Amino acid sequence: MARSPRTGGTGGTDAPRITLTEPADLQDRAPGPGDVLSGDRIEGKRIDVLDLSGERLPDLEIEECVVDTLRAGDADLRGLRIHDSLVDTLDAPVLRASSSSWREVRVSGGRVGSAELYDTGLNGVEFVGVKFGFVNLRGSTLTDVVFRDCVVDELDIADAKLLRVSFEGSSIRDAEGSNARIEHVDLRGADLDRVERLEGFRGATIGTDQLYTLAPLLAAQAGYRVD
């Protein structure tokens, strides 16, 4: 998938640079139980349901595929590489995919209870309409990533690096993480009305209207008492 050299954003905050193209000339595949093995490479396929639930599949590669439904609950997907692919629905009560690589990927819906994505690289990735419970991105690198119309209950970005990341129409309740490196992270399109902590987003861009909403929280984080 090609990415355009576009830069965007206003007020000195660049928008994520993402252009996703649906893979073409795909072959239909309907993998059954046990058909996918550890270290396998799935390339150029259109798959209705890819059910990896409970499987031990470290270092699995998914390249230039379209997957209607990806079920990954309790699967061991450490070292997963998913590139140039579209996933319509991601269903994973527990997503174990640490040290994975996501490049030029769109996930268009679904629900993830706990996402273990620490030490992961996300580059040119869109999450659209996904509900996340807890997302562990400790030590990860996010470059050109969009969370659009998502719900994020808890986000841990300790020691992570975020460059050109936005949260358009998404709600965030809790974001924490020491030593996170933030550059061109845009929260102006996010719903922050229910946020409880934002320590992990020091250096991000917020809007003037959000500042009024967040003033008590920001004062408390800075150690001020408002009377």
pLDDT digits (tens, 9 = 90+) for 99-110: 999 999 999 999
Using a cut of 0.85, tell me whether the model's pTM lies above it.
yes
Q: Does any domain span residue 213?
A: yes
Percent pLDDT > 70 in the chain is 90
- What is the structure's pLDDT at 1? 47
Does 19 reside within a domain?
no
- What does the pLDDT look like over 162-201, one tens digit per residue? 999 999 999 988 888 889 999 999 999 988 877 777 777 8
DSSP-assigned states of every residue in 155-175: EE-TT-EEEEEEEET-EEEEE
Q: Would 145 be classed as within a structural domain?
A: yes
Provide the CATH number for the domain around residue 191: 2.160.20.80
Domain assignment present for 7: no
Out of 108-112, 124-128, 201-205, least confident range: 201-205
Q: Establish how many alpha carbons lie within 13 A of residue 131's alpha carbon, considering only the half-sphere containing its beta carbon.
A: 5
Which regions of the chain does DSSP assign to beta strands (E)?
27-29, 41-43, 45-51, 61-63, 66-71, 81-96, 101-107, 110-116, 121-128, 130-136, 141-148, 151-156, 161-168, 171-176, 181-186
> Residue 18 falls within a domain, yes or no?
no
Phi and psi at 217, nearest 5°, equal -65, -45
Within-domain flag for 101: yes
Look at the chain and count its residues.
Answer: 227
Residue 27 included in any domain: no
What is the rounded distance in angstroms from the CA atom of residue 39 to the CA atom of residue 48? 21
Question: Can you give the residue range of the structural domain that contains 60?
Answer: 35-222
3-class DSSP state of 78: coil
Number of structural domains (the chain) is 1
CB contact at 8 A, 213 and 188: no
Residue 8 placed within a domain: no
